[in-house]
Amino acid sequence: MSSGLRIGIMDLMNRLILALDAPFAGAVVFGVHFDGHLVVEALLVAVIVFLLFQKSYQPQKRPLTRKEIDQLCDEWVPEPLHPAITKEMEDEPPVLESDAGPRIIVSGKEVINLASANYLGLIGHGKITEACNAALKKYGVGSCGPRGFYGTIDVHLDCEARISKFLGTADSILYSYGLATTSSVIPAFCKRGDIIIADEGVQWGIQNGLFLSRSTVKLFKHNDMKALEKILEEIALEDKRVKKVLNRRFIVVEAIYQNSGQMVPLDEIIRLKEKYNFRVLVDESHSFGVLGKTGRGLTEHYGIPIQKVDIITAGMGYALATTGGFCTGSAKVVDHQRLSGAGYCFSASSPPYLASAAITAMDVLEESPELLVRLQENVTLLWKGLSQARGLKVTSNALSPLFFLQLENTSGSFKNDSMLLQEIVDRMLEDAAVLLTVSKRSLLDNCKLPAGIQLSVSAAHTKSDLLQVIQSLKSVVEAVLDRK
């Protein structure tokens, strides 16, 4: 059909040319033979010129009128501020009427407490209470200002020096909250374009830091060094392919994972980091004051010089039995944070009595190494007892004072698992007077590790208490699981 059309057009053109030729037939103007072709060509040129000078088609922009915007604003219906309250959200936590020591009082009943990370049993320690009391009288409670503006009390500096002396690092920096420590440290050193490789099971504070840093973040399978090496290998290959300006690279891990109780193989991490030129950040919240012969943490446990780890962070609301967090490392690492650590620079400093408590806690730990022996004995006792429990399996490290018990037959869903586990925990509190907890997971948390019952062992727990916990846990688990 199209060829028919073309023939038609050709025919028409020929006729046109012939028709136009007729009047000028044979005419010669200034030596140019004038015929119909020229007329048609001139016409075409004129059309092209006309088209060229034509404005391109632009639909007229018509901004919304006031009235239209008013209407849009009227029509807009926002979502409610928060989703509907579900039944789980109604759950109230236990309310303590005493300190959170190894035995606590909940609703008038004495209960064995395995929910506080009071690893060294320093809650209620006479020396620490005395130090806090003195600090309260001298300094008052709050510091009433950020570190920059007269919120630096001398005990803050003493505490920083004490941490450095205890660990053998160059300098340390105090944060007033454990959760804000990693969220501030990571963005202080990593920016857009830098690379961070982190474990997929890291706690929310680290996840938040990773997100705020805007760096390229890659996650490796929980505590799997092969997976880590694979990612490192990929990055090294990519480097060979594309030469780029060197960027900062970090491996971020936790010494003992808050979400699983597993321990990171530091020797392997150090080997990989040195092989692939990465720096490493280790969060020692659950290992500081716990691991190693003198409680100096993961590096002591592995016999690795602490300088090999570039940045160490830790919360102080665990073994040290106070509140806050710190970061320690080289002088440069610490100095840089004093203006760049958001949670340091823009937050009120921690109450001085809490810094005093931290200093005294380290003193106590150095003076009484038997605390660590007792803690490890308790950990071993509980580990042996619980590994025989039916229906549950211990998934935490054998040295970790933070225990994780997962269901042997998991349903695969965090929510269903934790509902079942919560039932066990509730029964334990009611029937056996033992306070345990189920791992919580915020909607904002990206960690995908399975739910488990958490137990925090303390050096202050008595053997008989722990034996009682093992005994009653076994029977409660059996009773609950059998009913299902």
Query: Within 192-211, which residues bind other proteins (CB under 8 A)?
Result: 194, 203-205, 208, 211
Binder of other proteins out of 5, 77, 237, 242 (CB under 8 A) = 77
Burial class (CB in 10 A: 0-12, 13-18, 19+), 422: middle
Is 152 among the residues that bind other proteins (CB under 8 A)? yes
Contact present, 453 and 421 (Cβ < 8 Å): yes
Phi first, then psi, for residue 254 (nearest 5°) are -110, 145
Q: How far is the CB of 176 from other proteins (least distance, A)?
A: 5
Return the structure tokens found at 338.
Answer: 């004093």
Q: How far is the CB of 165 from other proteins (least distance, A)?
A: 16
Q: How many residues bind other proteins (CB under 8 A)?
A: 117
Q: How far is the CB of 319 from other proteins (least distance, A)?
A: 9
Looking only at the bridges linking them, the beta strands covering 216-220 and 195-199 are parallel
**Of 31 and 63, which CB lies nearer to other proteins in the complex structure?**
63
Q: Which residues from 207-236 bind other proteins, rule CB under 8 A?
A: 208, 211-212
Q: How far is the CB of 205 from other proteins (least distance, A)?
A: 7
Q: Which stretch binds other proteins (CB under 8 A): 1-9, 34-42, 49-57, 73-81?
A: 73-81
Q: Which stretch binds other proteins (CB under 8 A): 13-21, 44-52, 92-100, 373-381?
A: 92-100
- The CA R_g of the chain, rounded to the nearest whole Å, is 36
Q: How far is the CB of 364 from other proteins (least distance, A)?
A: 13
The interaxial angle of helices 352-367 and 126-139, nearest 10 deg, is: 150
Burial class (CB in 10 A: 0-12, 13-18, 19+), 251: buried
Q: Which stretch binds other proteins (CB under 8 A): 34-42, 147-155, 220-228, 462-470?
A: 147-155
Q: Which stretch binds other proteins (CB under 8 A): 46-54, 142-150, 398-406, 416-424?
A: 142-150
Q: How far is the CB of 154 from other proteins (least distance, A)?
A: 5
User: Within 10 A of 169 (CB to CB), how many other CB atoms are there?
Assistant: 21
Q: Which residues from 427-456 bind other proteins, rule CB under 8 A?
A: 435, 437, 440, 442-445, 454, 456
> Whole-angstrom Cα distance, residue 441 to residue 459?
28
Q: 137's torsion region: left (phi>0), alpha (psi -120 to 50) or beta?
A: alpha
Q: Which residues from 243-282 bind other proteins, rule CB under 8 A?
A: 245-249, 258, 277, 279
Is 157 among the residues that bind other proteins (CB under 8 A)? yes
Q: Which residues from 171-190 bind other proteins, rule CB under 8 A?
A: 176-180, 183, 189
Strand partners, 393: 406
Q: Which stretch binds other proteins (CB under 8 A): 12-20, 139-147, 397-405, 472-480?
A: 139-147
Binder of other proteins out of 36, 102, 112, 153 (CB under 8 A) = 153
Binder of other proteins out of 257, 302, 318, 326 (CB under 8 A) = 318
Q: Which residues from 354-383 bind other proteins, rule CB under 8 A?
A: 354, 357
Report DSSP letters for 228-242, one per residue: HHHHHHHHHHHHHHS
Report DSSP letters for 19-52, one per residue: HHHHHHTT-EETTEEP-HHHHHHHHHHHHHHHHH
Phi first, then psi, for residue 276 (nearest 5°) are -105, 15
Longest CA span, the chain = 126
Is 242 among the residues that bind other proteins (CB under 8 A)? no
Binder of other proteins out of 166, 288, 326, 353 (CB under 8 A) = 353
Is 399 among the residues that bind other proteins (CB under 8 A)? no
> Whole-angstrom Cα distance, residue 161 to residue 280?
23
Is 289 among the residues that bind other proteins (CB under 8 A)? no
Q: How far is the CB of 293 from other proteins (least distance, A)?
A: 23
**Of 279 and 461, which CB lies nearer to other proteins in the complex structure?**
279
Report DSSP letters for 37-95, one per residue: HHHHHHHHHHHHHHHHHSPPP-PPP-PPPHHHHHHHHHH--PPPSSPPP-TGGGPPPP-
Is 97 among the residues that bind other proteins (CB under 8 A)? yes
Q: How far is the CB of 18 from other proteins (least distance, A)?
A: 58
Q: How far is the CB of 39 from other proteins (least distance, A)?
A: 53
> Which residues lie closer than 8 Å to 66 by C-beta, 6 or more apart?
none
Is 108 among the residues that bind other proteins (CB under 8 A)? no
> Whole-angstrom Cα distance, residue 318 to residue 193?
34
Binder of other proteins out of 1, 5, 52, 85 (CB under 8 A) = 85
Binder of other proteins out of 33, 109, 271, 332 (CB under 8 A) = 332
Is 43 among the residues that bind other proteins (CB under 8 A)? no
Binder of other proteins out of 36, 102, 295, 315 (CB under 8 A) = 315
> Which residues lie closer than 8 Å to 296 by C-beta, 6 or more apart?
166, 167, 168, 288, 306
Binder of other proteins out of 64, 373, 398, 467 (CB under 8 A) = 64
Is 81 among the residues that bind other proteins (CB under 8 A)? yes
Q: 108's torsion region: left (phi>0), alpha (psi -120 to 50) or beta?
A: left
List the one residue out of 265, 225, 216, 267 whose CA is nearest residue 244.
216
